[in-house]
Amino acid sequence: MPIVRNVSRAVSQLLQSSACGCGVSIVPVRCIGISPRQVACDASFHSVSFSESDHPRVLITGGLGQLGVGLAKLLRKRFGKNNVILSDIRKPADNVFYSGPFIYSDILDYKNLREIVVNNRITWLFHYSALLSAVGEANVPLARAVNITGLHNVLDIAAEHNLRLFVPSTIGAFGPTSPRDPTPDLCIQRPRTIYGVSKVHAELMGEYYHYRYGLDFRCLRYPGIISADSQPGGGTTDYAVQIFHDAIKTGKFECNLKPDTRLPMMYIDDCLKATLEVMEAPAEALSMRTYNISAMSFTPEELAQEVQKHVPELQVTYSVDAVRQAIADSWPMNFDDSNARRDWGWKHDYDLPELVSTMFSFLGSDSRIAQAN
């Protein structure tokens, strides 16, 4: 199918930090302690010890994006290194490649995605492949292929093989006619980005497959996610990651949103914890299949003020990007996540001061930060 091949090539060229992947060959899987050149690697990889046999067998698509690597690390600690396969269409860094099983995969290749699930006895699938908001608006046909066609492949395979499937949603699944402060789990959703439209589609298709075919579909609507170990990836909320890098490197930060643009945010550790918790929650505890989760809500100005407590000389200017600002103005200002807190005990750990302190501690101390402290 030349269209699929062309889209796959375009994905590979375009996506640098948006996650996209799943479906090719079992040969590239790396085995711990065995050279990737050895043909015997596959046999060793397929064999797991008795102590690991009761754990889920996990596949993460789009695993080299902001969340996949951190999720793999968390799940490997819990379920065993060889029970969690990270996948993407891009070449992983050495530290990622040698930290556990990695496989090249493309979600647009249905046959080989199915082959990976079968050959590796996958039972849980985390589907992180997607083009983010601003990147998606720059290439709508590609976003439609990756975010919607790829999802359909994943849904069909998950239903066929009785997988527990997690697909993240987002604040971008809401639109300007949705209640914004706060935004409940169930309300009008009319997003105006292809990213948001594809996420609403994912929520509804996942729920349909659950009620129609019994698919164990679980979904969280993430707020803006902030982490120290990945570069900004084309999302509207990525200013909240960029400010830390710029504060350390140059002491100057130019924000592409208005200073009073309030959006819900979350530190990555809270995000990963919530993802694991909802996947481990008993099915009978879930009153719905898609939940809001939140931790804090702030504006660029409020974040800058907190960052300046660590880097007092940080200079902040504003050069508003009209596309990103329009996206942000259509999104929730605060998430109502009371259902998640009631049904499966969701509770966040990081508020804004803890977030900023943690980001600087991970990114390393600069002379300006050392002086300030």
- Residue boundaries of the structural domains of the chain: 130-371
CA dist 203 and 158 (Å) reads 15
CA dist 197 and 174 (Å) reads 9
Summarize pLDDT for 348-369 with one digit per residue, the tens.
Answer: 999 999 999 999 999 875 434 4
Residues paired with 48 in a beta bridge = none
Q: Which residue has the higher pLDDT, 328 or 48?
A: 328
Residues paired with 125 in a beta bridge = 59, 165
Q: Would you place residue 170 in the very low, low, confident or very high pLDDT band (cuts 50, 70, 90)?
A: very high
Distance of CA 117 to CAs 24, 57, 68, 120, 168, Å? 11, 9, 18, 6, 20
Statement: residue 316 has pLDDT above 50: yes
CA dist 187 and 179 (Å) reads 7
CA dist 281 and 89 (Å) reads 31
Other CB atoms within a 10 A radius of the CB of residue 51 amount to 8
pLDDT of residue 249: 93
Is residue 328 a contact partner of residue 261, using CB atoms and an 8 Å limit?
yes
Distance of CA 98 to CAs 36, 57, 86, 259, 369, Å? 11, 19, 11, 42, 33
Q: Where are the alpha helices (DSSP H) in 39-193?
A: 41-46, 68-79, 94-97, 110-119, 133-138, 140-144, 150-160
Mean pLDDT value across residues 16-41: 35
Statement: residue 88 has pLDDT above 80: yes
Strands, E assignment, the chain: 58-61, 84-88, 102-104, 124-127, 164-166, 169-170, 216-222, 224-226, 252-255, 263-267, 290-292, 296-298, 315-318
Residue written as token pair 């499966």: 344
| Token duo for residue 238 | 């990525």
The residues annotated with a catalytic role in the active site are 195
Mean pLDDT value across residues 76-97: 96
CA dist 236 and 259 (Å) reads 14
Output the average pLDDT for the chain. 85
CA dist 368 and 373 (Å) reads 9
Summarize pLDDT for 218-277 with one digit per residue, the tens.
Answer: 999 999 999 887 676 667 888 999 999 999 999 999 999 999 999 999 999 999 999 999
Statement: residue 25 has pLDDT above 80: no
| Token duo for residue 350 | 């990081």
Statement: residue 212 has pLDDT above 70: yes
42-51, 118-127, 330-339: least confidently modelled range: 42-51
pLDDT of residue 233: 63
pLDDT of residue 33: 37
Q: Which residue has the higher pLDDT, 124 or 366?
A: 124
Nearest to 300 by CA among 288, 314, 290, 286: 314
Residue 17 neighbours by CB under 8 Å, 6+ apart = 65, 66, 230, 231, 232, 233, 234
- Residue 252's SS3 state is strand
Is 0.75 surpassed by the pTM of this model? yes
R_g over Cα of the chain: 20
pLDDT of residue 42: 37
Write the DSSP string, 169-207: EEGGG--TTS--SSBPSSS----SSHHHHHHHHHHHHHH
pLDDT of residue 234: 64
As to burial, measured by CB atoms within 10 angstroms (0-12 exposed, 13-18 middle, 19+ buried), residue 47 is exposed
CA angle 236, 238, 243 (to 5 degrees): 135
| Token duo for residue 70 | 């951190």
Is residue 84 a contact partner of residue 76, using CB atoms and an 8 Å limit?
yes
Under CATH, which architecture does the 130-371 domain have? Answer: 3-Layer(aba) Sandwich (3.40)
